[in-house]
Chains A and B, each alone.
Chain A
Amino acid sequence: MTLSTLTLRVKRHKTTYFVQCSATDTVLALKRRVAKLVGRDPRDVRLLVPKDKMTTTVDYAAVHAKDKLAELEDKAVLDQLGVPDDAVVFAVFWVPGEINAAEGKWEPVDLPEPAPLVEADEELSEAEHADAGAPRADKGKARA
């Protein structure tokens, strides 16, 4: 009997945690694994997913827009939620209040976008074209 193992990417700030769990695990079990990785209490970890559909890619605009993310309930089972393999889940930690530890708040979801790949190359090729064009233009003027 094959156990359906899910590999999920839990993202927070600039770190991505690759967490493996079973499709029959509850959200709380997943939180426990994440909490163990970061050395925190599972109750101080909150997991969020995009409201419409769980995907394997990150929509950075949706992540920062309000009300586009839904929190995962502890008791829910991953299989029943329809979490696909290689899905992206967002995590935030509880920040205890400075004066009163009991009062505090959840961090806002903040996901910086990684550096794009192609931009630098496009700028280079444009500069090359500009250099190649200049001497040609001068030659044309000299002839005229």
Chain B
Amino acid sequence: MADTAAAASASKAAPGATPLDLTDHVRLVSADGFEFVIDRKCAMASGTIKAMLSSPARFAESQHNVVEFKDIKAVILEKVCQYLYYKVRYTNSSTEIPEFFLGPPHQLLELLMAADFLDC
């Protein structure tokens, strides 16, 4: 009973999207409705997302593995996702770390604000 209720609420939370069957992935939704499905491990590299997903039942996000960002646009959120993978890949790495391309200058301010909010 609890499972079907959870499944029903999960499908309501992400209308029109294909269901995310795995608990090791997280769906991040941008302000303009674009979705980014990333590894849970990489999502946890953001302090804010980690808090949202780990906190016991306080945030709705922890139940459906979906986090909505009403203030972050898709272009920025995609860059953040790429950075999270880069961070996980090269943290505590002894290999030479390539530079992370931040993108065109007009995007930098919003990217900085998003990174600050997401603590990553």
Contacts and interface: CB of A to CB of B under 8 A. Distances in A.
Contacts of A16: 34-37, 78, 81
A117 B18 contact: no
Contacts of B25: 37
Give the bracket for the number of chain A residues in contact with chain B.
Answer: 20 to 34
A14 B20 CA distance: 15
B110 interface: yes
A80 interface: no
Interface string B16-32: 01111110010000111
Interface residues of B, number: 31
A14 B27 CA distance: 12
B9 interface: no
A38 B85 contact: no
A24 to B, nearest CB: 18
Interface of A: 2, 5, 7, 9, 14-18, 20, 36-40, 86, 114-118
Given A114-B32, A117-B106, A17 B37 contact: yes
B47 interface: no
24 contacts: A14-B34, A14-B35, A15-B17, A15-B18, A16-B34, A16-B35, A16-B81, A18-B39, A20-B39, A20-B85, A36-B21, A36-B22, A37-B20, A37-B37, A38-B18, A39-B18, A39-B21, A40-B18, A114-B30, A114-B75, A115-B73, A117-B73, A117-B110, A118-B106
Contacts of A20: 39, 85
B85 A18 contact: yes
B21 A18 contact: no
B115 to A, nearest CB: 15
